[in-house]
Amino acid sequence: MTRDEEHLRLLSIFHYVVGGLAALFALFPIFHLVIGLFLILAPDQFAGNGHGGPPAALIGWFFVIFAAAFITIGWTLAAFVLSAGRFLARRKHYTFCLVMAAVECMFMPFGTVLGVFTIMVLMREPVKQLFGSNPPGVLPG
């Protein structure tokens, strides 16, 4: 196994780990989802409606909508990171892997480190050749 193949194998494993962590962290808003459901399903149990504030059910819907959106976005990102790991292992979809590496750079600290190292490895000419003779969007050089 060459050095580049070993680096791609390690990057693939790290993508699985970061993808799993992203899926786990995406569940943090589940607490807000549960609170929102309580506010929707039992609004009479929460005091404060008589003071001119918004109804508890309305606040509950905000909690539910935002929590569901964050969980959905987090799981989608995790699925993309896991897919990138799979593609790196199979040496397919060069452009997707490169774009995901750039997107991962926004998520500190693990995503940033993984994204930078993935970009560094994917920019090597021998690695480009492992993905195919001419990956899409890469000019022969």
Supply angle C-alpha 25, 113, 32, rounded to 5: 15
Q: What is the pLDDT of residue 53?
A: 64
**pLDDT digit string (tens) for 52-96?**
667 888 889 999 999 999 999 999 999 999 999 999 999 999 999
Answer whether 109's CB lies under 8 Å from 119's CB: no
DSSP-H helix ranges across 91-108: 94-104
Q: Is the pLDDT of residue 32 over 70?
A: yes
Q: How confident is the model over 128-139, as a mean pLDDT?
A: 68
Q: What is the pLDDT of residue 50?
A: 57
State percent of the chain over pLDDT 70: 88
Answer whether 81's CB lies under 8 Å from 96's CB: no
The verdict on whether omega for the bond into residue 109 sits within 30 degrees of 0, i.e. cis, is: yes
Q: Give the single-character DSSP code of 119.
A: H
Q: Where are the domains of the chain?
A: 3-44+54-129
Output the pTM of the full model. 0.82
Confidence of residue 1 (pLDDT cuts 50, 70, 90): confident
State percent of the chain over pLDDT 90: 67
